[in-house]
Structure 1
Amino acid sequence: MSKKMQGNGLFESSRFILPEFKEAYLANMKEQERRGKPVLDDQEVQLIEKALIESYNRRTPVTVTVFNPFDDEVLTGIVTALNTNLREVKLIRGEDDFSWIKLEVIISAAT
């Protein structure tokens, strides 16, 4: 008698994964790679704010690292607007390419 016909062999030999289960498994694996936002001390926050204000006043490029739970994003551009109420800056990266970035997601900035 073959092994497929003994015990649980028939079920064990016919395993397959539904696409929904595969997607859920891959999503779960990606979620496990998530990391927490680093805590910045006051001195680092002041250096970031200084670099952003300097870029705004002098219209010089600044390189900003934006936190992402999976992979940090590095952006380079010129700060053209500071919104103190919403605590965000407008970074112009190209001719028509700009983005509003919240200050709490910026983890480093350098001119």
Structure 2
Amino acid sequence: MDQSLKRGNMLWEGSRFTLPEHVEALAKKKKESNRFLPPELDQLELEELNRRIQHAFAKKCCVIIGFYDEFSYHEITGMIEKIDVYQRKILISSETGVTFISFDKLLKVEFAEQECFADEC
């Protein structure tokens, strides 16, 4: 084979181009690969989360709530102010402000070591 043809991919480097549709598809694929895949909770774990949420709401306890969004896992420490069963969300007040979290996004509810606002728990 002629030495001028043994250039690897350099032979076609000058004629490469990418269509805008291809750029969009590559960006979408990269974004999808970074998506957070939450673990699936079984019925007993869901009942335990429900029990802890009800107890923390009734006693005004400080809790650590683990939840996820589209791309990552988050934890927030605060007090459950409201449980909205119709919209399936809970309202958490913390030092950073007020946050609504969907029931479907919850992964963990633990009672915090420190006291947030109340003395009982």
**TM-score w.r.t. structure 1 length?**
0.72
Query: Which residue pairs with 2:93 in the alignment?
Result: 92
Compared with structure 1, are the counterparts of its residues 16 and 107 closer, same or farther at alpha carbon in structure 2 (3 Å cutoff)?
Answer: same
Structure 2 segments unaligned to the other structure (5+ residues): 112-121
What amino acid sits opposite 1:101 in the alignment?
I
Q: Aligned partners of 1:79, 1:15: CA distance in 2, in Å? A: 56
What amino acid sits opposite 1:70 in the alignment?
F
User: Is the Cα–Cα contact under 8 Å of residues 36 and 73 in structure 2 kept in the other structure?
Assistant: no
**TM-score w.r.t. structure 2 length?**
0.67
Query: Which residue pairs with 2:35 in the alignment?
Result: 34
Compared with structure 1, are the counterparts of its residues 10 and 107 closer, same or farther at alpha carbon in structure 2 (3 Å cutoff)?
Answer: same
Q: Secondary structure at the match of 1:73?
A: strand
Q: Secondary structure at the match of 2:39?
A: coil
Q: Describe how 1:1-111 pairs up with structure 2 within 5 A.
A: 11-13=12-14, 25-94=26-95, 97-111=97-111
Structure 1 segments unaligned to the other structure (5+ residues): none
| RMSD value, Cα | 3.2
Structure 1 residue 22, shift from structure 2 partner: 6.1
Compared with structure 1, are the counterparts of its residues 9 and 45 closer, same or farther at alpha carbon in structure 2 (3 Å cutoff)?
Answer: closer
Report sequence identity in percent: 23
Structure 1 residue 71, shift from structure 2 partner: 1.3
Structure 1 residue 25, shift from structure 2 partner: 3.4
